[in-house]
Amino acid sequence: MLPFAVKKLVFYSYKKGMMKMFGCIFCQVAAGQKPGKIVCEDDQCVAFEDIHPKAPVHVLVIPRKHIATLNDDLAGDEPLLGHLLSVAARVAKMKGIDRSGYRTVINTNAEAGQTVFHVHLHVLGGRRLAWPPG
């Protein structure tokens, strides 16, 4: 008999793999299986236009790797998460809002308004953004 912890690990790895293959719209965008207006991409991440923009510039930067939320076990993914920020800055420059200003946001879980459970960095700008956020 396998120890419980090993079974749990196998189950969650399986679930994550299945999620990636079938369930996650952002994995599908990253894989080119779902259309997205790509702004830029590299081997680690993809930046694309939000389908319902909340500002004149609204781009989502996602890791190619499926990470559901910032509450996941992120051990080893710190360089990847840092890379998302540097790509966000590149996107802001490409969109011409780096000097005027922009906001980078990651919503986590229900009260923050997370609706897609694949970590994504919103890059918002092109208008004055209220603070504190609603």
Binding site for Zn ion (CB under 5 A): 24, 26-27, 66, 118
Spatial CB neighbours of 92, under 8 Å, sequence gap ≥ 6: 57, 98, 102, 123, 125
Question: If binding is defined by CB under 6 A, does position 36 make contact with ligand 5GP?
Answer: yes
95 binding partner (options ligand 5GP, Zn ion, none; Cβ < 5 to 8 Å by kind): none
**Minimum distance between the CB of residue 75 and Zn ion, rounded to whole angstroms?**
19
Please, which residue, 49 or 72, has the CB nearer to Zn ion? 72
Tokens of 78: 């710190």
**Residue 96, CA distances (Å) to 75, 89, 101, 131 in order:** 34, 11, 9, 21
Partner in contact with 107, chosen from ligand 5GP, Zn ion, none, beta carbon below 5 to 8 Å by kind: ligand 5GP
113 binds ligand 5GP (CB under 6 A): yes
Instruction: Give residue for tokens 């004055």.
Output: 128
